[in-house]
Amino acid sequence: MTIQHFDVAKVREDFPLLRQTVNGHPLVYLDNAATSQKPQVVIDSLVDYYTTKNSNVHRGVHTLSQLATDDYEGARAKVKDLLNAAHDKEIIFVRGTTEGINLVAQTFGRQNIGQGDEIIISALEHHSNIVPWQLLCQERGAALKVIPINDAGELLMDDYEQLLSPRTKLVSVLHVSNALGTINPAKQIVEMAHSRGVPVLLDGAQAAPHMLVDVQDLGCDFYVFSGHKLYAPTGIGILYGRADLLESMPPWQGGGEMIRSVTFQETLYNELPYKFEAGTPNIAGAIGLGVALDYVSNIGLDRISAWEHELLEYGTECLSSIEGLRLIGTAENKAAILSFVMDKAHPHDIGTILDSQGIAVRTGHHCAQPLMDRFGIPATARASLSFYNTKEEVDILVKGIDRVLEVFS
């Protein structure tokens, strides 16, 4: 079904980088799962902050500090609305998804996981949702359990149910696969864990930019995502945590802002969310994230999701018709990611030839080496789509792949 009234040409005008040429060709940017491009309003917000209100936030009585604090805390409120969190204090600013997961591992994890306990992840995970739990398991004498997948890249939910046990202390899985595009049944995952009293962290790095996320409806205990994949600057991300859990967790880093009072005998910690935000934060990044959320909200995540789904269906049809090309990840419920291999060309060669034609795709294991091992391949080429991409760009990708076939014929 064609999405009515979605003017992708008008949207593209908002992204200055999309107007450039690469290797003599108009840029076709299909690496959005790695990072998104930034609309001009986000770029302008960084310039505005540094030219008109650059100051440290909180505790300042002077005007610049108050202006910066208002914008910084305003961004937190916008994230709260985006996720439909219950309270602003449940929104913690971090550097990105990776830091958010590590924060939970080093606080909640150390506090609640001990010898013989188990943590459940899935075969789809990004390394950032594997390694922190491995480190914790090694330290605490716990075990890491993995939900297997089928050949389409979908979780085997019966196996997940079997893995849940009295020893399970946490489930941590991604909402959407960065490597395959699989959209996991997040609400069901949470319900099954909660029925056994097990908390759940959802890695939303690939979900938050592309679909409506309601943490209260999902019921998750923690949710993490990165701003740079959501059209915001790099170096800013979000950890959502249920207030009661965050209150019970110890601080992760010590320093300014996260304290209420300090003596040489003891330190009393600040209230939420500041207990987890030690030191000077990424003020400009947070403000830029707030502006990016305004931009996305004005377009509508429901419309963004619908257009990207149309692009996915078109791209799947086009790539499936290419002889010698195999899509990796064919889940029934997918985000707009096309990961593929070719019989005669290594993914790195595919990426190099496409780049010579101005087409940017990601090649490699996509920080998901165990997942590549599951499919018996070293890497894939991945075209990841965003709402500013077009069907014409998919056609250019197909022509680029035809060129790969010519080179290796």
The CA–CA distances, whole Å, from 244 to 119, 217, 247, 273 equal 21, 17, 5, 12
Query: What is the spatial distance between Cα 180 and Cα 340, in angstroms, rounded to a whole number?
Result: 9
Tokens of 388: 């500013």
Give the DSSP letter string of 48-64: HIIIII----SS--SHH
Tokens of 144: 């890491």
Q: State the catalytic residue, choosing from 137, 220, 318, 367.
A: 367
Cα–Cα nearest to 287, from 54, 37, 110: 54
The answer for residues whose C-beta is within 8 angstroms of residue 23's C-beta and 6 or more apart is: 355, 356, 357, 358
Tokens of 67: 């202006």
367 is annotated as an active-site residue: yes
- The region, left, alpha or beta by phi > 0 then psi within -120 to 50, assigned to residue 181 is left
> How many C-beta neighbours within 10 Å does residue 105 have?
25
Structural contact between residues 227 and 96, judged by C-beta atoms closer than 8 angstroms = yes
Tokens of 126: 């990004």
| Catalytic positions | 367
